[in-house]
Amino acid sequence: MAADADRRGATLAGDRSGYGDAAVSAQLIEALIDLAALLEKTGEYYYDIVPVKRLVLGDGGRSGNCEYCIEASDLGWIDQDDVFEGPDEDVDEAPLHFNCTCSVEFGEKRKRVYV
Ligand SMILES: [Zn+2]
């Protein structure tokens, strides 16, 4: 009799916990679906930080610098992996040529990356 009661108790407890797990799983899946929908709604991209640089014209500004430097500064912010076109060769940094007084400013920009 005592054994019967124990077995019934165990069965009930087992049933209850089994039901509980299923309910938690269903809730979890529902929450994940909601989260996925939310992420989709807020956009399918994130921001990445890209290192950039730009050529800052030296003494004289536009009128005091050669066309290579003016063209390079007109590019604005470019990838730090990109190069500036100098009269002799492409360069990563200032100076672009002999007597060039320009400098390179480094920064970073946020870029949208679509997933
Ligand atoms: Zn220059």
Distance (Å, rounded) from C-alpha 115 to C-alpha 40?
Answer: 10
More confident residue, 12 or 39: 39
The verdict on residue 92 lying in a domain is: yes
Ligand 1 center–CA 55 separation, angstroms: 8
The verdict on residue 66 lying in a domain is: yes
The verdict on residue 19 lying in a domain is: no
Tens digit of each residue's pLDDT (9 = 90 or more) over 58-86: 998 899 999 999 999 999 999 999 999 99
Residue 111, pLDDT > 70, answer yes
pLDDT at 110: 92
Q: What is the reported pTM?
A: 0.58
Ligand 1 center–CA 18 separation, angstroms: 75
Given pLDDT bands bounded at 50, 70 and 90, which one contains residue 50? very high
The amino acid present at 54, given as its one-letter code, is R
Ligand 1 center–CA 58 separation, angstroms: 6
Q: Which domain holds residue 106?
A: 45-114
CB 75 within 8 A of CB 26: no
Residue 99, pLDDT > 70, answer yes
The verdict on residue 7 lying in a domain is: no
Q: How many domains is the chain partitioned into structurally?
A: 1
